[in-house]
Amino acid sequence: MKPTTGAFEKTPGWLDWFERPAKPRFVLPPGAVDAHCHVFGPGEQFPYAAERKYTPCDASKDQLFALRDQLGFDKNVIVQATCHGSDNSAMVDALRHASGRARGVATVKRDVTDQALQAMHDAGVRGVRFNFVKRLVDFTPQDEMMEIANRIRAWGLHVVIYFEAVDLPELWSFFAALPVTVVIDHMGRPNVAQPVDGPAFNLFMQFMQRHDNVWSKVSCPERLSLSGPQALNGEQQAYQDVVPFARRVVETFSDRVLWGTDWPHPNLKDHMPDDGLLVDFIPHIAPTPDLQHKLLVDNPTRLYWPESL
């Protein structure tokens, strides 16, 4: 059991992240970016937010950087998790200690000052996250989010959105009106029990087709899968029910997809993935070296390190 430090008690049933992930068999290309991961605390240094819906075990920047090296990634994009609310200090501290090898996505409220936005940008923040998943956050009015989206244009920041597939019809017009690049977390969380060419996932594909400022992370098979990590027919193809969904997105929008581990995997109750196994999932959804390079290197570099191109 990993600790939660400070005056905090882990949420009951919380599964801790894998301490010794397998070395992936899939060798990541040089310059590969883990474009969705988090840091949690440590709680005694960076207390969890009062309004949080869960209390994780600590997962520090040093542990994240060790994972990066173990898996063979070159860089990270660290996404503010809801357990830290709009206090971005743990994430920003990680950016400041990453020697330029991490960028961040923050959570901000309407009252964020220009000075605070500037300081976050200087540290490496390149996006702001709007969360619509009801079990994770309290309601924020859309006019507040739109005001933020308009303000962050001055720093060239993008918006990351996290929502459930059933909510896309209702949120469509708001998402379509966002005046910046938009990155969707985890393919909009499709229900993979439904057909990959059924109405719900077709709607998601249509949304991306109609809006060329919209990108998608093809991450979190462990969160979406119903078939799980088991080897099937003697073959090691984990999360096989997610493959057609992620592959369809990668093959259709190869210049607008990102991949990330989602380490340390908040809120998983049934099974905690081995991050090495997650990396071995990549060639199933991006089957050619060209697609792999776009997904892991070209796209995240263009979005998060454009100055290096």
| Per-state percent for the chain, helix, strand, coil, to nearest 5 | 40, 15, 50
Instruction: Please identify, among the stretches 24-32, 61-69, 76-84, 172-180, the one whose residues bind ligand 0GY according to the rule CB under 6 A.
Output: 76-84
Q: Which of 63, 82, 88, 292 binds ligand 0GY (CB under 6 A)?
A: 82
The verdict on 76 binding ligand 0GY (CB under 6 A) reads: no
> What are the structure tokens assigned to 212, written together?
């060329």
Q: Residue 188 Cβ, how far from ligand 0GY at the closest point, in Å? A: 12
The verdict on 275 binding ligand 0GY (CB under 6 A) reads: no
Sign of CA dihedral 78, 84, 88, 90: negative
The verdict on 267 binding ligand 0GY (CB under 6 A) reads: yes
| CA 247 to chain CA centroid, nearest Å | 18
Tell me how far apart the alpha carbons of residues 138 and 82 are, in angstroms, rounded to a whole number: 10
The verdict on 34 binding ligand 0GY (CB under 6 A) reads: no
Instruction: Please identify, among the stretches 22-30, 146-154, 227-235, 261-269, the one whose residues bind ligand 0GY according to the rule CB under 6 A.
Output: 261-269
Tell me how far apart the alpha carbons of residues 241 and 201 are, in angstroms, rounded to a whole number: 14
Q: Which of 16, 34, 74, 262 binds ligand 0GY (CB under 6 A)?
A: 262
Instruction: Please identify, among the stretches 20-28, 60-68, 86-94, 262-270, the one whose residues bind ligand 0GY according to the rule CB under 6 A.
Output: 262-270
> What are the structure tokens assigned to 98, written together?
């990453």
Question: Which 207-236 positions form the footprint of ligand 0GY (CB under 6 A)?
Answer: 223
Residue 197 annotated in active site = no
Tell me how far apart the alpha carbons of residues 205 and 214 are, in angstroms, rounded to a whole number: 11
The verdict on 81 binding ligand 0GY (CB under 6 A) reads: yes
Question: Which 126-185 positions form the footprint of ligand 0GY (CB under 6 A)?
Answer: 136, 162, 185
In which residue are the tokens 């119903």 written? Answer: 226
Residue among 266, 258, 243, 274 nearest 71 (CA): 274
Task: List own/partner pairs for 195-198 with CB under 8 A and 24 or more apart.
Answer: 196/244, 196/245, 196/248
Number of residues lying near ligand 0GY (CB under 6 A)? 10
Q: Which of 34, 74, 262, 274 is catalytic?
A: 262
Nearer Cβ to ligand 0GY, position 2 or 223?
A: 223
CA dihedral 5, 11, 15, 20 (to 10 degrees): -10
Nearer Cβ to ligand 0GY, position 124 or 266?
A: 266
Residues forming the site for ligand 0GY (CB under 6 A)? 81-83, 136, 162, 185, 223, 262, 266-267
- The residues assigned a catalytic role are 262
